[in-house]
Amino acid sequence: MKELPIGRQVFPEFIQQDLLYVDKTRFVWEMVRQGKYYFLSRPRRFGKTLLLSTLKAFFEGREELFRGLYIHGQVKEWKKYPVVHIDYSRVSYKDGKAVFQQSLLNHLNEIASDHTLELENSILSDAFTELVRKLHEQHGKVIVLVDEYDKAMVDALTDEEQFEENREVLRGLYGAMKGLDEYLRFVMLTGVSRFAKVNIFSGLNNLEDISLDGAFANAVGFTQEELEANFEPYLKQVQKKFGFSWEELLGYYRTQYNGYSWDGETTLYNPFSVLKSLKEKDFGNYWFSSGTPTFLTEMVKKQQYLPEIFEGLKTEDLTGSSLQLKKFPLIPLLFQTGYLTIHRIEREGIRQRFILNYPNEEVRHSFLTFLAAAFVEKDEFEIQPEAIELRDALREERTDAFLTRLQSFLADIPSRLHISRETYYHSLVYIMLRLTGMKPLLEKETDKGRLDAVLELPDKIYILEFKFGAGTRVKNVRTLSRQALAQIEKKQYFQPYLGGGKKIILFGIGFLDKALDGRIKVHPPA
């Protein structure tokens, strides 16, 4: 069993230290053979840095590292090129524009020094141009690799002034590439966002975006086949610990970690989650826990999105573009950062529409926990006990306890965050039910109309209807709950579930400001 490469991103180390490496060199070969300028967007910790490190080793002509890998059988002549590898982990970009510019300039000087060169220019764009030209003069065509090209902007999404300053610095650097085509052999930039790309690459119109290209859909990340072929000994250790059958084990891995897709067909595992799970022999929320998406939850609140729309969401735009930070489109950003993914693609003529969803249980559960915590301004660890109490109350048919806990949750929400419409309360109930591990079906269509929610448990089914009193003449929350229950009976929303052998509980819930009331009726009567 080769060592799991957790936290390792440098390709030569994988080979020299005999770490477990999933061969992705077929995609490296396709890139260098077919094109010249590439851009790839993927979420954090998805293998982008390792891909660039592999490209760097290839262009440095290090043939010995590739023996036994796909690409070695394809290359007839190994050539060595000078490589400019811009690494933002070595650059300071959080202390103002002047510091950022100087730090980037220092980084270029370090790269020049590695090639026994000395730069004379002190202006960032001029220094980059000088570096490329001098490398070309001494060694021939130049390779440019930029890892996390947008990191300085993504990390400043909650600070508009810093965001704009950082974007100006990057525009100056990347804009310098447009006049260097004759000196360059290959250019690749990776990052999280695609929306910022169009605003900072002035004139670099020949950059091929392969983020949604099916040919490169699994250039990073693990497919199901790669998981089983490369990690079977480690998977068997997890299987032994939990006592699962092989199919049960793979089913849990698919549910918890698989599901990322950029073409609507190929689904992928996040490498970080898989490696951590295999090492820990457990099923934690490893990827999500490695980076708290505070700015995303803040954007959800500010733009007043309702959380349930993120499941089965339809959109035609996955790029997004805005010159103003406050107007950045949230949905493309959630997709690019990995909290939503392409579930399928619908096509009508030349138009296409993307159906988005959470990629897997790890992301869904973690993100909803953060959203719930953000709405009530609590720590996320305080939310889980409340969700467990809600689940137990429903399982044990303690509807009064369910309403008491739900009302307590609503009461904790600051008034400035309340959205005065019925769907807002649907969303809050949805979040809490989802965090119980249950999957409520919302706005379910029947031949009698559209019911608000269905919640199916192993031995019973809840039919839920909500009535919202704000803006109406109703002054008593009990009137609302009676109306909700009466609607379920009148419309016979329970009919599709008759004959299923499960107990059916009709549950009408009224909302009036932050007051709740509920009425239940079992159908058919005992």
pLDDT of residue 198: 47
429: confidence class by pLDDT, cuts 50, 70, 90: confident
CATH of 377-523, one of 3.40.1350, 1.10.10, 2.60.40, 1.20.58: 3.40.1350
The answer to whether the beta carbons of residues 300 and 330 sit under 8 Å apart is yes
Q: What is the pLDDT of residues 377-391, one digit of tens each?
A: 777 777 778 888 888
Q: Average the pLDDT over 264-272 and give the result.
A: 96
| Alpha helix ranges (H) inside 412-452 | 422-435
More confident call, 436 vs 233: 233
Mean pLDDT, rounded, for 316-322:
73
Residues carrying CATH 3.40.1350, the chain: 377-523
Q: What percent of the chain has pLDDT over 90?
A: 52
Please state which architecture CATH assigns to domain 11-216: 3-Layer(aba) Sandwich (3.40)
For the four alpha carbons of 306, 307, 311 and 317, in that order, the dihedral sign comes to positive
Exposed/middle/buried for residue 333 (C-beta within 10 Å: 0-12, 13-18, 19+): buried
Between CA 325 and CA 383 the distance in angstroms is 30
pLDDT of residue 310: 80
- Token pair belonging to 198: 């169009």
Q: What is the pTM of this model?
A: 0.85
Rounded Cα distance, 269 and 289, in Å: 16
Other C-beta atoms closer than 10 Å to the C-beta of 330 total 16
The Cα–Cα gap between 94 and 100 comes to: 7
Q: Give the Cα separation of 360 and 259 in Å (integer).
A: 6
The per-residue pLDDT for range 470-494, each reduced to its tens digit, is: 667 778 889 999 999 999 999 988 8
What is the CA angle 20-22-26, rounded to 5?
145
Distance CA 220, CA 46 (A): 6
Q: What is the mean pLDDT of residues 423-431?
A: 70
Distance CA 506, CA 493 (A): 9
Mean pLDDT of the chain: 87
445 Cβ neighbours under 8 A, 6+ residues apart: none
- Of the pLDDT bands very low, low, confident and very high (cuts 50, 70, 90), residue 106 is very high
Return residue ranges of the chain for CATH 3.40.50. Answer: 11-216
